[in-house]
Structure 1
Amino acid sequence: MIGARIRRADLPLPIPARFEQNHGMENETGPTTSLKGLVQWAITPPQAYVVYVIGLLLVFSVSYLAGTMNPKKSPGAEPPAVSAPRN
């Protein structure tokens, strides 16, 4: 039986017709490098969770960094003297 085609009925496990190979995937020629392809890849469920967590970490780290910076002190902005009247 070498080189002979095996019919679907001869297979040990029944494979329904709805599980046939998807030939449309064979037309893809490699990784997509466009922005649309990247966005389409990023919104599929497994990648979307990772993109969301990376976005949260990025926002957290930028806000933490901005909060830890000390403002520059300008030389002319000193507090008023104690003897000055308050009105």
Structure 2
Amino acid sequence: MTNDSEPTTGIKGLVRWAITPPQAYAVYLVALFLVAGLSFYMGTLKPKKAVGIAPPPPVSAPRN
């Protein structure tokens, strides 16, 4: 093993911490739940109605 005298901080240190085995499982699960939760939330949103586009005519309207 190498003896690091200076502590790693910032993004590099966070990535190094996150890829070690115990934390990697937790990071993977958190990311999995985050993606599943966001996709569920996005699926429950209703699309906005388009402005300026007339709705389709009713089925009983005569065709000319």
Please give the range of the TM-score, normalised by the shorter of the 2 chains.
0.7 to 0.9
Rounded to whole Å, the distance in 2 between the matches of 1:51 and 1:71 is: 32
1:21-45 per-residue CA deviation (whole Å, 9 max, x = no partner) reads x8x64x5344x21212111111000
Does 2:40 match 1:64?
yes
Counterpart of 2:50?
74
Identity %: 49
Rounded to whole Å, the distance in 2 between the matches of 1:38 and 1:48 is: 11
Q: Unpaired segments of 5 or more residues in structure 2?
A: none
Counterpart of 2:5?
28
- CA-based RMSD of the aligned residues comes to 2.1
Q: Unpaired segments of 5 or more residues in structure 1?
A: 1-21
Rounded to whole Å, the distance in 2 between the matches of 1:77 and 1:42 is: 53
- Give the structure-2-normalised TM-score: 0.73
* Deviating 4+ runs (over 6 angstroms): none
Question: Shift of residue 77 of structure 1?
Answer: 4.0
- Alignment: residue pair count: 61
